[in-house]
Homo-oligomer: A and B are copies of this chain.
């Protein structure tokens, strides 16, 4: 516990998993050239990120933007210590992921029945059975499993999702040998209270299982939820370059929390991310140019905290 994020945070490492190339790019209607995807991922690694969710192994008909999954994975430059992952919902995806040489797979299912049925067209129990087969394929291929739990903090169709349900699924993932569960805030319903409840339920149901947090800033409180996660000792967070993305299929959802804003918050709070702020801002700017529209990230607009202005060139007045 570390209330004020002061000296106790000093140097503690926090892992940021960049999910923009998957969670962000998948929503783009205009195809992003494969070379540009590769250049952006390479620039992310060069900025110091060491975990990137690069793509999805889902049907190219469902997500045509990520139909180049294998090519992107084959051609990116992976620095030492880097881990790349792809999203997988079924056995076929698992086989592709193993073939493509990812380090880990992000398995996807939802904590809410209605969202799971809408998202992957089957009940949660059927998804868990499928995920057991996914886990077996991955184990055989030497690929780790990160157990994704979508709608972990609430469902846009059902409302509240009981924390015990999140704990129950985490336990099943632990039994499958997952290295971590990743709690997805699919439509931006996470709050400090629901985050604390989900973490507590997982620690009860699946002691020792690592927890990752994947927040959306849909209602403006994404980084406030990170503060709760930090105060409860969670050291793994997903974020998206420029605040790109969100689940395009769930009504009302806007962007993921923003990678460079998260780097700024963590580094300024005394945590170590390994990411160079100026370099990751440059990647956000490049991504913005590639997509041809402004992204919601704030630090890319305001610059680093100690950016200095010339008082003689600045107008000011009472206020």
- Using CB atoms and an 8 Å cutoff, list the residues of chain A in contact with chain B: 1, 3-6, 23, 26, 56, 58-59, 62-63, 87, 89, 108, 114-115, 117-120, 154, 156-157, 159-160, 188-189, 191-194, 196-197, 217-221, 223-224, 226-228, 231-232, 247-254, 258, 261, 264-265, 268-270, 297-299, 301-303, 305-311, 314-319
Q: With the chains together, A299 CA to B252 CA distance in Å? A: 11
Is A119 in contact with B319, judged by CB distance below 8 angstroms? Answer: yes
Is B232 in contact with A3, judged by CB distance below 8 angstroms? Answer: yes
Is A306 in contact with B192, judged by CB distance below 8 angstroms? Answer: no
Closest CB in chain B relative to A271 CB, distance in Å: 10
Residue of B159, B191, B223, B231 touching A220 (CB-CB under 8 A): B223
Q: With the chains together, A58 CA to B229 CA distance in Å? A: 43
Is A269 in contact with B193, judged by CB distance below 8 angstroms? Answer: yes
Q: With the chains together, A220 CA to B192 CA distance in Å? A: 17
Is B226 in contact with A63, judged by CB distance below 8 angstroms? Answer: no
A/B interface sample: 18 pairs, CB < 8 A: A5-B192, A5-B193, A6-B193, A56-B319, A58-B319, A63-B319, A108-B319, A115-B316, A119-B316, A156-B307, A219-B298, A220-B223, A220-B265, A220-B297, A220-B298, A221-B265, A223-B223, A247-B316
Q: Which residues of B contact A89 (CB under 8 A)?
A: 318
Is A319 in contact with B258, judged by CB distance below 8 angstroms? Answer: no
Q: With the chains together, A90 CA to B298 CA distance in Å? A: 34
The 5 closest A-B pairs by CB, nearest first: A220-B298, A4-B196, A249-B316, A220-B261, A191-B268
Q: How many copies does the complex hold?
A: 2
Residue of B117, B219, B250, B252 touching A264 (CB-CB under 8 A): B219
Given A218-B302, A252-B303, A309-B156, verify A265-B318 contact (CB < 8 Å): no
Q: With the chains together, A247 CA to B317 CA distance in Å? A: 9
Q: With the chains together, A6 CA to B193 CA distance in Å? A: 5
Given A23-B319, A63-B317, verify A219-B261 contact (CB < 8 Å): yes
Is A191 in contact with B269, judged by CB distance below 8 angstroms? Answer: yes
Q: With the chains together, A217 CA to B265 CA distance in Å? A: 12
Closest CB in chain B relative to A220 CB, distance in Å: 3
Is A301 in contact with B159, judged by CB distance below 8 angstroms? Answer: no
Q: Which residues of B contact A224 (CB under 8 A)?
A: 223-224, 226-227, 265
Given A191-B268, A220-B223, A227-B227, verify A119-B249 contact (CB < 8 Å): no
Q: With the chains together, A8 CA to B221 CA distance in Å? A: 20
